[in-house]
Amino acid sequence: MIVSPQDKNKIKQMNPLVLAFVGDGVETLFVRAKVALSGDAKANALHKKASAEVNAHAQSEQAERVLPYLTEEEKDVFLRARNSKSRHHAKNFSVTDYRRASGWEAVIGYLYLTGEIDRLKELFELMEKI
């Protein structure tokens, strides 16, 4: 954990798309570490593997799978981000995928910033299983 855990109420006040911004970075780091440890030593191959998991469509599917396992608090963060109006979306993916991915990223960002690393790890592990 590089950032000290922040007050939940403070983090809940943040723009949900800012939480998604943080969550995108956290998930990218998680996925890059996972593929780096997978044994393939070629950077280009690692990049392709990571990119296949960290994009709006893949994250949208992850959100769908993990949504039933979220706490009410996490669902609230997810819905706030998913329903936030963004001026743009990923050009190669649908608006629905982009918004759902933003919701998932916001949950990740929220858990990271509040120091709930065990819960974050639990959700990442769950995502790998389901």
Tens digit of pLDDT per residue, the chain (130 long)? 678 889 899 999 999 999 999 999 999 999 999 889 987 778 888 888 888 888 888 889 989 999 999 999 999 999 999 998 876 766 778 888 889 999 999 999 999 999 999 999 999 999 888 8
How many C-beta atoms surround the C-beta of residue 60 within 10 A?
21
Model pLDDT, residue 90: 65
φ and ψ at residue 93, rounded to 5 degrees: -135, 160
Indicate which residue of 24, 40, 76, 97 is catalytic.
Answer: 24
Residue 128 pLDDT: 82
Stated pTM of the model: 0.90
Who contacts 15 (Cβ-Cβ below 8 Å, separation ≥6)?
A: 84
Catalytic residue check, 97: no
Domain boundaries, the chain: 8-129
Cα–Cα distance measured from residue 24 to residue 101, given in angstroms and rounded to the nearest whole number: 9
Contact present, 124 and 30 (Cβ < 8 Å): yes
The CATH number of the domain covering residues in 8-129: 1.10.1520.10
pLDDT computed for residue 89 by the predictor: 64
